């Protein structure tokens, strides 16, 4: 798909596939340097075929050529016998990357390469032998959305993969922090570094987030499977927004966490063998490929605004957004001054308070974004108006995704039948919720949703919960069940970390 000049803006792709009625073929062409296909996975060394996204051009006698928009075509790249590039196909290697060098990414140029008409992937648009275009979808925009919609699977995979990386990093950092001792009270054993409040503040909310993301991505995978099974329009819309949002939110969180884990392990975190460097380099691009995070979050915001409009038009909201119906009411009514001052642990650990806080924030951001956009669009047009509100819209999308994650976590706690497991999950879920509220306490204070005494109580409780989770941290990382041969980092192993580490450097 990607070209030298265009990645995110797929509608800007310039490669052409022109139908030749005489020979019943498409002619694939790279019209200029900017249209060179770039970053194509496996193209540089191994690929035999490519799925090429190109503008479908139909020659028409009356009005010149008709551009039917971006479609996908199967194009052979190399000979099946000799593996040499086929005539008209130029291939280069994109070169060494920051990470993921196990996959070769290539650049491709096509010089009037002919392929049979059959090689058009024609689910959303087809060309007959006579050169007549047909599509089951009514508009070019719908066709384009459906074509790109097929990329959802990659995002689901990246979100789930990123949670795997986060679990691995958290496991290495927490196990090491339970082993490592530095300083301590006079005449007493040295302190385990995970007992330092600062170390807990870095790693324990991360552990809670790993669990939170686990349940949210599990839900996403289930919805994705349902989408594949039912092809139901409502589920498709839901999975699109959810996969875009979770992919962005989780990969951004994991990318930051990898650096935090590296620092949390001090000098030994910097040893290549302990893997933070390679995990960071390999994972970093998760934020960009299969859709740049900032671009994807805008799709979530756009979907929220669509749902918001629907709500006022009396339409039904898709499953993941249903909460907006109720929370919009809460937001529009005044916040209750008694509730804004309540600061007891029971109240703060009540999932209803936590969910209300998350939903209130999203509803407020949504309502104000819609008003701002309406006003600014009249003055500046929709593109400029969107850009004026962009940071607001990104915050809205993140707030919504955090809300979905919390909902799924609360459901998971509720489902858990094992008594100890349930209490540990509840602890983690409360920490996830309150840590996020604390991170955004300025917003809650500005809206008087939380009074000063309540804000202080939330902060105190976050520190207390970090301490409580620390006491069961070994069990909680062991529960990820990452085998040592997968984890590999000597400082992250279950036992004999120092001796394994020494052996690796030759002792």
Ligand X SMILES: Cc1cc2nc3c(=O)[nH]c(=O)nc-3n(C[C@H](O)[C@H](O)[C@H](O)COP(=O)(O)OP(=O)(O)OC[C@H]3O[C@@H](n4cnc5c(N)ncnc54)[C@H](O)[C@@H]3O)c2cc1C
- Please give the positions annotated as active site: 290
Nearest 10 degrees: Cα torsion 485, 489, 490, 492: -100
Q: 158 or 487, CB closer to ligand X?
A: 158
CB of 364 to ligand X, least distance (A): 23
Q: Are the C-beta atoms of 400 and 299 separated by less than 8 Å? A: no
Q: Give φ, ψ of 158 to 5 degrees.
A: -65, -40
Q: Which residue is nearest to ligand X (CB)?
A: 7
Q: 389 or 404, CB closer to ligand X?
A: 389
Q: Give φ, ψ of 217 to 5 degrees.
A: -75, -30
What are the tokens at 314? 């009396």
Q: 288 or 330, CB closer to ligand X?
A: 288
Residue that is written with structure tokens 């060179």 in the block: 36
CA distance 136 to 265: 56
- What residue ranges bind ligand X (CB under 6 A)? 1-2, 7-8, 39-41, 97, 100, 105, 285, 288-289, 291-292, 294-295
Listed residue (173, 159, 165, 268) closest to 221, CA to CA: 159
Neighbours of 179 (CB within 10 A): 16
Q: Are the C-beta atoms of 181 and 191 separated by less than 8 Å? A: yes
CB of 366 to ligand X, least distance (A): 19
Locate the DSSP E strands across 326-432.
none
3-state secondary structure of 60: strand
Listed residue (42, 59, 17, 148) closest to 100, CA to CA: 42
Q: 294 or 330, CB closer to ligand X?
A: 294
CB of 95 to ligand X, least distance (A): 11
CB of 56 to ligand X, least distance (A): 17
Q: 43 or 476, CB closer to ligand X?
A: 43
State the first-to-last Cα distance of the chain, in angstroms, to the nearest integer.
50
What are the tokens at 323? 């909460």
CB of 432 to ligand X, least distance (A): 27
Q: 103 or 319, CB closer to ligand X?
A: 103
CB of 131 to ligand X, least distance (A): 28
Strand order in 89-93's β-sheet?
37-41, 105-110, 89-93
């Amino acid at each position: 798909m990607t070209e030298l000049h265009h990645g995110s803006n797929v509608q800007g792709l310039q490669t052409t596939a022109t139908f030749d009625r005489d020979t019943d073929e498409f002619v694939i062409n790279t019209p200029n340097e900017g249209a060179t296909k770039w970053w194509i996975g496996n193209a540089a060394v191994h690929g035999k075929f490519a799925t090429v996204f190109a503008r479908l051009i139909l020659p028409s006698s009356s009005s010149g050529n008709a551009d039917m928009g971006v479609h996908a075509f199967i194009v052979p790249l190399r000979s099946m016998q000799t593996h040499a590039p086929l005539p008209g196909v130029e291939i280069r290697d994109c070169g060494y990357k920051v990470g993921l060098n196990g996959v070769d990414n290539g650049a491709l140029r096509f010089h009037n390469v002919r392929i049979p008409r059959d090689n058009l992937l024609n689910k959303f648009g087809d060309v007959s032998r006579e050169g007549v275009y047909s599509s089951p979808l009514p508009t070019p925009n719908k066709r384009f959305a459906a074509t790109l919609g097929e990329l959802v699977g990659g995002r689901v995979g990246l979100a789930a993969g990123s949670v795997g990386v986060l679990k691995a990093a958290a496991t290495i950092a927490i196990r090491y922090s339970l082993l490592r001792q530095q300083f301590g009270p006079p005449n007493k054993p040295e302190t385990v570094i995970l007992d330092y409040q600062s170390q807990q503040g870095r790693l324990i909310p991360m552990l809670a987030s790993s669990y939170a993301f686990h349940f949210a991505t599990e839900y996403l995978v289930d919805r994705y499977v349902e989408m594949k099974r039912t092809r139901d329009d409502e589920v498709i819309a839901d999975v699109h927004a959810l996969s875009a949002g979770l992919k962005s939110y989780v990969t951004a969180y994991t990318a930051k966490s990898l650096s935090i884990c590296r620092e949390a392990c001090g000098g030994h975190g910097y040893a290549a063998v302990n893997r933070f460097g390679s995990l960071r380099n390999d994972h970093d691009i998760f934020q960009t490929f299969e859709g740049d995070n900032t671009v994807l979050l805008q799709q979530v915001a756009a979907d929220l605004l669509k749902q918001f409009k629907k709500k006022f038009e009396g339409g039904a909201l898709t499953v993941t957004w249903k909460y907006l119906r109720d929370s919009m009411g809460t937001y529009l009514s005044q916040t209750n001054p008694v509730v804004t001052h309540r600061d007891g642990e029971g109240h703060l650990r009540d999932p209803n308070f936590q969910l209300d806080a998350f939903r209130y924030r999203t509803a407020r951001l949504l309502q104000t974004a819609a008003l701002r956009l309406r006003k600014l669009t009249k003055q500046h047009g929709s593109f400029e108006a969107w850009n004026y509100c962009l940071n607001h819209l990104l915050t809205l999308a993140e707030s919504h995704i955090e809300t979905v994650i919390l909902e799924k976590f609360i459901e998971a706690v509720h489902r858990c039948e094992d008594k100890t497991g349930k209490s540990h999950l509840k602890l983690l879920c409360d920490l996830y919720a309150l840590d996020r509220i604390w991170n955004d306490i300025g917003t809650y204070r500005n809206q008087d949703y939380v009074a000063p005494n309540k804000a202080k109580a939330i902060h105190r409780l976050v520190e207390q919960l970090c301490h409580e989770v620390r006491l069961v941290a070994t069990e909680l990382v062991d529960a990820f069940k990452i085998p040592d041969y997968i984890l590999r980092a000597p400082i992250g192993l279950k036992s004999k970390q120092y001796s394994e580490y020494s052996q690796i450097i030759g002792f």
